[in-house]
Amino acid sequence: MHRTTRSRLNTIRSRRSLMKAAVLRTLAEPFVVEDLDFHPPAADRVLVRTHATPFCSTDCTNWAGNFGKVPPVILGHASIGEIVEIGSQVRGFAIGQRVLVPGTPECGTCFYCAAGRPDQCSELFDNPSGYPIVATDSNGETIRASGNVGGYAEMMNISANQIFELATDLPSDVLSLMGCGITTGLGSVFNAAKVQPGESVAVVGCGHLGLWVVQAAKLAGAEQIFAIDPNSERRALALKLGATSAVDPDAEDAVAVVKDNTGGRGADHAIEAAGPAASQVLAVALARRAGTVVLNGVKALGTTVELVQTTIAVQGRTIISTQNGNVRMWRDVPRYVRMLEQGLLDPEPIITGRYRLDQINDALVASRDLRDLSGLLVF
C-alpha cells in the first residue's frame, strides 16, 4: 500500500476509534460516559464528529423509560458536526464539511417522501431492525443510536439521508438547535398552522419549543400571541420574544382569557408545545370554531387524549399532528438559517446552559427540573 494512502487510512481510523459517548445503560439511572469503538460507515453512511447537541426535554422522557428506548443506547436525536469519513456510495458530501443531523431523515424514495411528507420518512419510522448499531463497547456489546442519530457522543454514524449541508458562518452551538427545536417550532407555525398576518395564536407551553413558536408567530404577522405556561420566568421570556399576552393556567381560566380578547371566539390557531394530554385538551378548547389546532407533544407511549366530541365533530376545527414541524429539510432549513443570520430569531435566551459530555447528568437534571430551556452539550 502506498505510504500516503496508508497514512490517510490510519488518520481516519484514529478519528473514529475509542470515542466517548454517554450511554443509557439502565432506564432512569445516570448516563455512563465511556469509550466506544465506533464502526466504520457502511456504503450509504458517514461518520460525523460531533460539534454540539441540545439536551432535548424529550430525552427526559426517553431516559425515564416512557418512550420505548431499549438500553444500551445513545440518546440525542438532533445534532451538528463535521464529516470525517464517507461511505463508498455517498455522493455530494466531503470530508471536513459541516452538516446538520436533524431528528428526521429524507430518503426521497419511500411512500411518505414521495407524497411530500418526509417528516414521516420510512427510514425513521418503518425500520423493523430497530435503530442502527453504531459502536461496540469494551466488552464487545453493540450500542445503538436513538432516533438514528445518537448525538450524545463525540462521534455519530449517520445515514447519508440524515445529513444536510449548512452554508453559513453561524456557530455550531446555535445551529445545533436547528435539528429539532427550531424546525419543530417554526414548522408548526409556517407549515402546519400556516399563520397569516392579523391572526391570533395561542401557544400552550413556553419551553424551548413554545418559545420558537412564539417567535415564528410574530414573524408570521400574528396580531395576538397568547403565551400559556404556569412558569412565571417562561411567561416573561415569551413576552420578551414576541407574545402579546401571558397567561398562568394555574391561576386563570386560559380559555376565558383568550376568548375575552378575541371577540368571544377563541384563537384562530392553538399550538400545543408542552406534552401532557391535558395541554392538548386545552389547545383544542382554546381554538375557535373552524380554527386550527397543532399538536406537538408526547409524554409517554400509550397516552390517550379525551376530547369533548362536539369540539372535534361539528365545530369545524382542523387538528394537525406534527413531527419536526412537518418540515422539508432541504427546503426549510436554508430559510430558517437566513432568519437567524438576519437577527429575526433570537436563540440566546433559549440556550440556558452549556455542558461538557461528562456533565450530561447535570444537563439531564437541569432539563427535568425545568431550569434549562435548551442545555447544549458542546464538544
What is the per-residue pLDDT across 171-206, written as a single tens digit (0 to 9) for each? Answer: 999 999 999 999 999 999 999 999 999 999 999 999
Percent of the chain residues topping a pLDDT of 90: 93
Residue 11 reports pLDDT greater than 80: no
Cβ–Cβ under 8 Å, residues 131 and 73: yes
Q: Are 174 and 193 within one domain? A: no
Cβ–Cβ under 8 Å, residues 105 and 77: no
Q: Are 150 and 198 within one domain? A: no
Q: Are 109 and 208 within one domain? A: no
Which residue, chain included where needed, has cell 438532533?
Answer: 78
Q: Are 202 and 288 within one domain? A: yes
Q: Are 79 and 210 within one domain? A: no
Note the pTM of the prediction, 2 decimals. Answer: 0.94
The pLDDT value recorded for residue 15 is 53
For residue 328, is it within any domain?
A: no
Amino acid 325 reads G
Grid cell locating 300: 409517554
Rounded mean pLDDT, 92-99 = 97
Cβ–Cβ under 8 Å, residues 191 and 327: yes
Q: How confident is the model at residue 270 (pLDDT cuts 50, 70, 90)?
A: very high
Which residue, chain included where needed, has cell 386545552?
Answer: 282
The CATH number that applies at residue 226 is 3.40.50.720
For residue 13, is it within any domain?
A: yes
Q: Are 171 and 201 within one domain? A: no
Residue 144, domain extent: 3-179+348-378
Cβ–Cβ under 8 Å, residues 265 and 256: no
For residue 235, is it within any domain?
A: yes
For residue 340, is it within any domain?
A: no
The pLDDT value recorded for residue 65 is 93
Q: How confident is the model at residue 68 (pLDDT cuts 50, 70, 90)?
A: confident
For residue 335, is it within any domain?
A: no
Q: What is the pLDDT of residues 309-359, one digit of tens each?
A: 999 999 999 999 999 999 999 999 999 999 999 999 999 999 999 999 999
Gyration radius from the chain CA atoms: 21
Which residue, chain included where needed, has cell 406537538?
Answer: 296
For the chain, how many structural domains are there in total?
A: 2
Q: Are 263 and 306 within one domain? A: yes
The CATH number that applies at residue 120 is 3.90.180.10
d(Cα 263, Cα 247) in Å, to the nearest integer?
Answer: 17
Rounded mean pLDDT, 213-236 = 98
**DSSP letter, residue 324:** G
